[in-house]
Amino acid sequence: MPTRHLSKDYPWVSSPPIISAPMSGFAGPALAHAVYKADGLGFLGGVPDMAALRTALEDVTGLVTGTRTPASGHTLPIGLGALLFAQKLEEVVALIAEFRPVAVWLFAAHESPDFALWTAEIRKVSANTKIWVQIGSVRGAVHLAQSCKPDVLVLQGADAGGHGGEKGAGIISLIPETLHALQRLELLDNISIVAAGGIADGSGVAAALTLGADGIVMGTRFLAAEETSVHPLYRAAILETEDGGQTTVRAKLFDELAGPNIWPKDFDGRALVAQSYKDHIEGISIAEIRKSHAEAKQTSHLGFDQENRRAAIWAGTGVGLVRERAPAAEIVTEIREAAKVTLRKALTNLE
């Protein structure tokens, strides 16, 4: 478990590094900034709308520096998510050149070579922007390590909420096997490993560290943060839900609700089990499911209420550990400290 370069690249980040996921549509300037201020690493979610993305970058620059226009030579201590299948490389690269985020997190390409292409173009325009690449398989991690030489591999386990590979293991086996494969090929010296998927409390963070992760990503847990752009009914559903392995499910159906699925073919997403999903399992047609979904979106509940839950509410299996709304800084600090306490206790119990 070498100490790699997360602490060098993000010197304000306290150990263990806590990272807020670039949840598209949810992770905006307020969340990214609050995580940054709590000595974590905050990401803006990638969105296809470039005007909205520019505004988000201006806003977070303003929160960090006091002025919305990036100064020359400035590096923004905030990460940026990129959805490769849904964004144009040249448009994103232009924003990166201008705003110089400290990291760009590449996710969900239609074709694997796109990762290397984006990596190369981003590095050309912003040397201080570290490249993060998200993947959920051992083979994929090895391939990306060889083809992109990213600074960070985000290993996403099957417990993760939102989008990821249709097939996958939990981090309990994904991380150790990937580390072993990378080590054998001598690919690990310059790549940090960040864990995602099912981590929602201090013990999960501690577990990910023992598995060999250098940093930890949480998404679902940050849906409870005050600074996250999430509808109150959506957040309420997250806070109410227990027993995440039973009450969430991975399915492509959630990407079909509002129209044809635009995600790359091997992707699906984990969300709360909804009436839409139950209908799908019972063989109800997608046309009818879409109609009911559209109707529910017109109500005051937007399809988020438990009685007629028709909308996708993305959540990982850790959703049952997410119990109350809180400032992001409190979440970061509490979990970081709990992770240390947990590790010490586990060792004390052993010795």
Q: Which stretch binds a copy of itself (CB under 8 A): 64-72, 210-218, 229-237, 294-302?
A: 210-218
Q: Which stretch binds a copy of itself (CB under 8 A): 101-109, 192-200, 223-231, 293-301?
A: 192-200
The pair of structure tokens assigned to 16 is 């263990």
In the list 111, 242, 288, 337, the residue contacting a copy of itself (rule: CB under 8 A) is 242
* Helix or strand run (H / E) with residue 338: helix 328-350
The pair of structure tokens assigned to 152 is 């960070």
User: Which residue's CB is nearer to a copy of itself, number 50 or number 172?
Assistant: 172
Give dist(CA 109, CA 302) in Å, integer.
30
In the list 23, 31, 158, 237, the residue contacting a copy of itself (rule: CB under 8 A) is 158
Q: Does 244 bind a copy of itself (CB under 8 A)?
A: yes
Q: Does 199 bind a copy of itself (CB under 8 A)?
A: yes
Binding to a copy of itself (CB under 8 A): which residues in 91-120? none
Q: Does 72 bind a copy of itself (CB under 8 A)?
A: no
CB of 97 to a copy of itself, least distance (A): 35
Q: Does 239 bind a copy of itself (CB under 8 A)?
A: no
The counts of H helices and E strands in the chain are 13, 11
In the list 9, 39, 177, 334, the residue contacting a copy of itself (rule: CB under 8 A) is 177
Rg of the chain over Cα atoms, rounded to whole angstroms, equals: 19
**Site size with a copy of itself, rule: CB under 8 A:** 60
Q: What is the DSSP letter of 68?
A: S
Q: What is the 3-state secondary structure (H, E, C) of 291-334?
A: HHHHHHHCCCCCCCCCCCCCCCCECCHHHHHCCCCECHHHHHHH
Give dist(CA 107, CA 79) in Å, integer.
13
Q: Does 253 bind a copy of itself (CB under 8 A)?
A: no
Q: Residue 305, exposed/middle/buried by CB under 10 A (0-12, 13-18, 19+)?
A: middle
Residues that bind a copy of itself (CB under 8 A): 1, 3, 15-16, 136-139, 157-159, 167-177, 180-181, 197-201, 203-204, 206-212, 242-246, 249, 316-318, 320-321, 339-340, 342-347, 349-351
